[in-house]
């Protein structure tokens, strides 16, 4: 697997996995502060950023190889990266001391008695990728910040960070959409062995806060809702985001 990983800071290992269409530069607003207390591993997922070119492999194979290449520690995944981190915690619990997911649930699509992304939203993005994927990514950025009182500034910051690395591979963007449509990890949650913090944005239109109660039937879960944040709370509310992590890990 071609995998670009930047290491920064010192302390317990903290592995950060970005979301769909993004790269590890997305963490810049919080990386320096986190590096004061952690050894960060900022990962460009296969097919994204500097982890190109990359072979197209399945979701489970991706999780297996990430767990093999990256060290044991605290795994933090945002959006699609949260799905990967959760699966690694389920499949390789010895690799994950604690789990943190951000704007991420055990299955993303809205299902019976399960709030989530409307299937037609993902279908819209899948179709857009075949027509004009740069425009589609711009629309995705706009949805991520929808409702945030500083949406324009958030979009500009995200776009600036993404431009620090090469554009993602179209094959992997299409695969990521398919993962978001089909991956469902709910059946494994009752066996989750590690402490799990879920961070949500109260204004998130992609992963709604209404999904929070559905997870509370499972053990080892703590939840944090950041008011006035949308899908990228570490961009709009970096201080509250880092404090949520530190409270979970050190309190």
Strand order in the sheet with 96-102: 4-8, 39-44, 13-17, 73-78, 96-102, 196-201, 221-226
Catalytic site residues? Answer: 79, 204, 231
Q: Contact at 8 Å (CB) between 21 and 133?
A: no
Alpha helix positions (H), the chain? 28-35, 59-69, 80-91, 119-144, 151-162, 170-182, 212-215, 233-236, 238-250
Residue 230's CATH number: 3.40.50.1820
Mean pLDDT of the residues in the chain: 93
pLDDT tens string 96-107: 999 999 999 999
Place of tokens 């390789």: 92
Residue-wise pLDDT tens digits, 21-52? 999 999 999 999 999 999 999 999 999 999 99
| pLDDT computed for residue 218 by the predictor | 86
pLDDT at 1 over 90: no
- For the stretch 201-249, pLDDT in tens is 999 989 999 999 989 888 889 999 999 999 999 999 999 999 999 999 9
State pLDDT tens for residues 45-101: 999 999 999 999 999 999 999 999 999 999 999 999 999 999 999 999 999 999 999
pLDDT band at 130 (very low <50, low <70, confident <90, very high): confident
Tally of structural domains, the chain = 1
Element (H, E) at 97: strand 96-102
Range of the domain at 17: 4-250
Q: 109 with 122: CB under 8 angstroms?
A: yes
User: Over the stretch 147-193, which tens digit does the pLDDT of each residue have?
Assistant: 777 888 888 888 888 888 999 999 999 999 999 999 999 999 999 99
- What are the residues whose beta carbons fall under 8 Å from the beta carbon of 43, sequence distance 6 or more? 3, 4, 5, 15, 16, 17, 18, 24, 51, 66, 70
Query: pLDDT grade, residue 126 (50/70/90)?
Result: confident
Among the listed residues 249, 231, 248, 197, the one whose alpha carbon sits nearest the alpha carbon of residue 22: 231
Question: Quick one: pLDDT at residue 25?
Answer: 96
Measured in whole angstroms, the distance separating CA 176 from the mean position of its chain's CA atoms is: 12
| pLDDT band, residue 195 (cuts 50/70/90) | very high
């Amino acid at each position: 697997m071609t995998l670009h990983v930047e290491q920064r800071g010192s302390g317990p290992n903290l592995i950060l996995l970005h979301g769909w269409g993004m790269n590890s530069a997305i963490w810049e607003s919080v990386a320096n502060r986190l590096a004061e207390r952690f050894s960060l591993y900022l990962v460009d997922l296969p097919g994204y950023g500097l982890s190109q070119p990359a072979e197209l492999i399945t979701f489970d194979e991706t999780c297996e190889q990430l767990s093999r290449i990256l060290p044991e520690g605290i795994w933090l995944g945002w959006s699609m990266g949260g799905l990967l981190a959760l699966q690694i915690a389920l499949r390789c619990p010895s690799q994950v001391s604690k789990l943190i997911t951000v704007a991420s649930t055990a299955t993303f699509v809205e299902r019976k008695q399960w709030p989530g992304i409307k299937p037609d939203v993902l279908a819209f993005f899948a179709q857009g990728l075949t027509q004009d994927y740069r425009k589609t990514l711009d629309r995705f950025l706009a949805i991520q910040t929808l409702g945030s009182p500083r949406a324009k500034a958030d979009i500009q910051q995200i776009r600036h960070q993404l431009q620090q690395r090469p554009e993602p591979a179209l094959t992997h963007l299409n695969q990521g959409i398919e993962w978001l449509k089909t991956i469902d990890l709910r059946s494994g949650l009752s066996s989750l062995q590690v402490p799990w913090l879920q961070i949500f944005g109260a204004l998130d239109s992609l992963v709604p806060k209404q999904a929070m109660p559905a997870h509370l039937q499972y053990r080892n879960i703590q939840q944090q809702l950041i008011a006035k944040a949308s899908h990228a709370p570490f961009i709009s509310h970096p201080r509250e985001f880092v404090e949520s992590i530190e409270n979970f890990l050190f309190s």
